[in-house]
Structure 1
Amino acid sequence: MNDPNGMVFHDGTYHLFYQYYPEAKIWGPMHWGHATSKDMVHWKEQPIALYPDSLGYIFSGSAVVDVNNTSGFGKNGKAPLVAIFTHHNPVLEKQKTGRHEYQSIAYSLDDGVTWTKYNGNPVLPNPGITDFRDPKVRWYEPQKKWIMTLATKDRITFYSSPGLKSWSKESEFGVDAGAHGGVWECPDLLPLTHNGKQVWVLIVNINPGGPNKGSAGQYFLGDFDGKTFTAYSKETKWLDWGADNYAAVTFSNTGNRSLLMGWMSNWQYANQVPTDPWRSANTISRELGLKTVGKELYMTSVPAKELDAIKAAGYSKKNLAVKAPVDLAPKGGNASGLFRLDLKTATANDFELVLSNKEGNELLIGYDKASNQYYIDRTKSGKVDFEAGFGQKHLAPRLSSDTKIALTLIADAASVELFADGGLTVMTDIFFADTPLSGLSIKSAKGIQIEDLQYHALKPSIE
């Protein structure tokens, strides 16, 4: 699997569609896989939702609940679910016309179980842009219209529609803004509230060109008036400083919550990672917010509160002095490697968490005061030789000006997700240990006081 697609909340169920090739562990003709959940934690696999057809492979896109039946697909008072996605035509791609990607729609009247493709597809033909994809659609209430945020090579193009079947170009953004080390992909546009004021967030995923190489997500904050997005700044802000959160977008129809998930891999090595019989996973769901540091406004990401429900046995420690390594592994061990660690320090000083096993594999997660950076170091984390750039130390700036550090780490068998300072700095990295990393310790070269530390094993969440 790769990009999460069509994420939508409807009648108490979260729907996650995703880029999927059912025939192999490497990328192939894309389908939309489908999973459902009541809590974004326990997921149930559903039958494939969309298959490739004569118009092409089913690339990334979004899904909406068409409450007002603007599309006319609804029947007997039932609001349709409408998927808006990119058709990628391999035949046209070979002809090098530059018109092989275009936008199409499908609808469901049985809560996402079965889908009917619209017989008027494509609803947005390609004007001659080679990379013309990943429509993220939302309802813009002030002007009673749908807005499509579309990735168009090196910029974002906004389109509008009264009923999802025909689209008009509104504006472009980004040719002179942000990072351009690779093609722009998988965008999202959403409002967040900060101090009573509405701020629009434009998320743009980029491949390659990320802060720690390969794929990554950047974002811009600004205003949107139904036609034009005006950024407060054209400088890049990174959604996640790790190597493994790509194509991250939010769920539709979640009211005043903004919930984001990404694909937990990187195109630099996605087809080579040493896993069997599966390949690739998603990040946990994250709740987005805004926070001011000095005069600068940033977006924050923290674990969705639904994750609290899978906390299992654990312990807490108060006022823990750390210099030489202190063993944090729970009594009896945690063989699954699935845990959550929350800690607060008395001062912003160096420390390092070490996840380890008896084979000598170590994954290091820490803070370096001299450079004011967090890091995840996977150089000795196990299998790293499958791709030249995998075994690296990844760095992220500490953005907070707080004199204390607050940190949440969520670890799984093959991934860590780090949320620092209330989600101001986020890092997601995958790893492949030779045996589970059941050891856990903390050390500090200069010594540090941990005010509060809480460890919880997490119950496996796959049904």
Structure 2
Amino acid sequence: MTSLTTQPSLTRRSLLGAGLGAVGITALAACTATAPDDDVPPVPDAAGPFSRPAGADVDRPGYHLTPPSHWMNDPQRPLLLGGLWHLWYLHNADHPHGNGTEWRLATSPDLVTWRDGGTSIRKYVDALGDVESGSAVVDGDGVAGLGAGAVLAFATQQADGVQRQSLYVSHDVGRTFTPAPGNPVIDNPGTAQSRDFRDPKVIRDSAHDQWVMLLAEGHRLGFYTSTDLRTWTYRSDWSVDDLGTLECPDLFELELDGDPSRRTWVLVASANGQSQGRTTGVAHWTGVWDGTRFTGDGAPARWLDHGPDFYAAVTWAPDDEPRPSSRWCLGWLDNWAYARSRRSGSFAGGAQSVVRRVRLVTGPGGVPRLVSTPLDALDVVTGPPVPMGGMPSSPSAVPVPFAGLHRFTRPTPSDSMRLDLDIESDAPYRLRLLDGDAASATVTVDPAHLRVAVDRESASPATGVLGPTWTSSHVADLAPQPRGRLRTRMSLLVDRGTLECFVDDGAVCLSAASGLGEVVAIELEADGSVLVHAATAAPIRPVQLA
């Protein structure tokens, strides 16, 4: 749960869609997407130093993906093409004075170091409007009639407030796309329900020899099928009435607890948790997919992340697993409650999260739920951990009793770092990050109430204009343990302006745009006596700044 003052229902449509039709008609352009220049610098060196390079933008994270300039929001599911991961995201090069998004490309060999690839799908190339969220697939057999091996992108276009689904084709390995003949492939039906009609997520359903498209349609998700990726037939829908307007759906199958005999379908959507006392986030349900309909198991929505800033997440199958025991995932680290007000100097719209490995496990009460941990590839750019102050560096060392408040000077070359804590306590304790202006972001563990919270109330001089979602404490429940004192293992990925917290091997995640400048100090504060089994900091190379 999240302690949160009631907020209005905010979506990408209400914030980015106003006036798009008029702008689009006056901004028609050629249909060829912009390719990156040949002299684009190479992928940043993952073996470089841990210090931030001289001249780097002071507000830019070191290892989180951000746009070269202007505005970023939703990521689009990556594809592995030509040995490189291709990740597209929504980008508005006209921000803050012009509307509309297009697909910008970033490529990576390892899902950690990213290279800008320029604009792949331009906005306003026709009267259908700008280019919003969707998904891309490889048409290996050429069933769409656009060539075997073509990369096809499905995306929502919006003009005059009407949302339709369009198809784009790439013959240069996803670098640039052009509109396919006959758009839209799914027109807006013109019903009251279809005012929100977007975010086509296309997956391959091999068991039924078909393609499946999920569409976010207000309070419901629509399911459509096709054999040729051009003609789509409506099959069913799945509704939820208490989570606002659903967006960015997904559907996939995972083994429960790694058991091949317990494969379970997972339905995902970005949603508004106001009715549950929390902000927006990524909800998921488990059940059965029979080729035409998803049937839930009756359990309520579960949340992939309990922080205020993890939205529009995408998942995809790892390339290193022969069976579906896990998936990879990343999401947008911002919140529509304040995204447009929280501007930085060199870019806007926050950052993308690190890539996470997501698994399906049996949670409290026997209910399946997703848990996530940072991708192992991040370890390659992470240095050796060092103890904070006189704290132990390993759970095998003698634990140290601790009480009161201790401040540690940051022990890493930059504030791109990973903090690992292993603490046993029956009293509340806090880890606080402080920047040079004494602004802070705090993670609090409350053993008595089995809760962990992230709080950045004092993390920005602009909190007065960012509103209650920014200033609230965002809280998650911890699982009870069969002993008197709660032992919590916590990893925090800290970067300029961002914080991702993973508790107990990812059973609980809290992600937040911290609003901090350079973190210069770390405080550990306990209301009573705690036992510290380990407290370390490890530098992470600022690979996005090289």
Q: 1:87 to 1:448 in 2, by over 3 A?
A: same
- Residue in structure 1 matched with residue 472 of structure 2 by the alignment: 392
Q: In structure 2, which of residues 180, 192, 199 is the aligned counterpart of residue 134 of structure 1?
A: 199
Q: Report the secondary structure of 1:306's partner residue.
A: helix
Instruction: Mark the runs of 5 or more structure 1 residues left unpaired by the alignment.
Output: 94-99
Mapped contact 1:241–1:426 kept (Cα < 8 A):
yes
TM-score, normalised to structure 2, is 0.77
Q: Give, in angstroms, the shift of residue 415 of structure 1.
A: 0.9
CA RMSD of aligned residues (A): 2.1
Structure 1 letter corresponding to 2:88 = F
Mapped contact 1:210–1:216 kept (Cα < 8 A):
no
CA distance in 2, matches of 1:448, 1:104: 57
- Residue in structure 1 matched with residue 356 of structure 2 by the alignment: 286
CA distance in 1, matches of 2:287, 2:97: 38
CA distance in 1, matches of 2:304, 2:97: 26
Q: Give, in angstroms, the shift of residue 360 of structure 1.
A: 2.4
CA distance in 2, matches of 1:153, 1:159: 16
Instruction: Mark the runs of 5 or more structure 2 residues left unpaired by the alignment.
Output: 1-71, 388-392
Mapped contact 1:205–1:215 kept (Cα < 8 A):
yes
Q: Give, in angstroms, the shift of residue 432 of structure 1.
A: 1.9
- Residue in structure 2 matched with residue 108 of structure 1 by the alignment: 170
* Range that drifts further, 355-364 or 219-228: 355-364
* Range that drifts further, 38-47 or 247-256: 247-256
* Range that drifts further, 50-59 or 21-30: 21-30
Q: Report the secondary structure of 2:380's partner residue.
A: helix
CA distance in 1, matches of 2:110, 2:309: 23
Structure holding more strand per residue: 1
Q: Give, in angstroms, the shift of residue 253 of structure 1.
A: 7.1
Deviations 1:383-424 (A, max 9, x none): 222322222221111146475322111011101001112211
Q: Report the secondary structure of 2:385's partner residue.
A: strand
Q: Give, in angstroms, the shift of residue 460 of structure 1.
A: 0.3
CA distance in 2, matches of 1:87, 1:401: 49
- Residue in structure 2 matched with residue 97 of structure 1 by the alignment: none
Structure 1 letter corresponding to 2:199 = D
Asked if 1:123 is matched to 2:215, the reply is: no
CA distance in 1, matches of 2:272, 2:97: 18
Asked if 1:345 is matched to 2:428, the reply is: no
Aligned length: 446
Mapped contact 1:374–1:395 kept (Cα < 8 A):
yes
Asked if 1:308 is matched to 2:379, the reply is: yes
Mapped contact 2:105–2:175 kept (Cα < 8 A):
no
Q: In structure 2, which of residues 117, 128, 132 is the aligned counterpart of residue 59 of structure 1?
A: 132
Structure 2 letter corresponding to 1:276 = G
CA distance in 1, matches of 2:300, 2:181: 42
Deviations 1:218-263 (A, max 9, x none): 1111111111111112412111111111111113674644111111
Q: Report the secondary structure of 1:158's partner residue.
A: strand
Q: Report the secondary structure of 1:308's partner residue.
A: helix
Q: Give, in angstroms, the shift of residue 56 of structure 1.
A: 1.3
CA distance in 1, matches of 2:272, 2:451: 24
Mapped contact 1:243–1:266 kept (Cα < 8 A):
yes
Q: Report the secondary structure of 1:114's partner residue.
A: coil
Asked if 1:170 is matched to 2:241, the reply is: no
- Residue in structure 1 matched with residue 405 of structure 2 by the alignment: 325
CA distance in 2, matches of 1:356, 1:212: 28
Q: 1:27 to 1:262 in 2, by over 3 A?
A: farther
Q: Report the secondary structure of 2:309's partner residue.
A: coil
Deviations 1:267-302 (A, max 9, x none): 001100031120121111111102223422211011
Asked if 1:453 is matched to 2:535, the reply is: yes
Q: 1:348 to 1:311 in 2, by over 3 A?
A: farther
Structure 1 segment 169-208 matched on structure 2, within 5 A = 169-175=234-240, 179-180=242-243, 182-194=244-256, 195-196=259-260, 197-207=262-272
Structure 2 letter corresponding to 1:404 = R
CA distance in 2, matches of 1:401, 1:157: 40
CA distance in 2, matches of 1:341, 1:210: 33
Mapped contact 1:9–1:252 kept (Cα < 8 A):
no
TM-score, normalised to structure 1, is 0.91
Q: Report the secondary structure of 1:3's partner residue.
A: strand
Q: In structure 1, which of residues 368, 371, 380 is the aligned counterpart of residue 458 of structure 2?
A: 380
Mapped contact 1:7–1:252 kept (Cα < 8 A):
no
Q: 1:379 to 1:108 in 2, by over 3 A?
A: same
CA distance in 2, matches of 1:427, 1:3: 19
* Range that drifts further, 355-364 or 211-220: 211-220
What percentage of residue pairs aligned between the two structures are identical? 28
Structure 2 letter corresponding to 1:392 = S
Structure 1 segment 33-112 matched on structure 2, within 5 A = 33-52=104-123, 53=125, 54-75=127-148, 79-90=149-160, 93=161, 100-112=162-174
- Residue in structure 2 matched with residue 96 of structure 1 by the alignment: none
Q: Report the secondary structure of 2:212's partner residue.
A: strand
Structure of greater relative contact order (alpha carbons < 8 Å, 6+ residues apart): 2
Q: Give, in angstroms, the shift of residue 377 of structure 1.
A: 1.1
Structure 2 letter corresponding to 1:420 = V
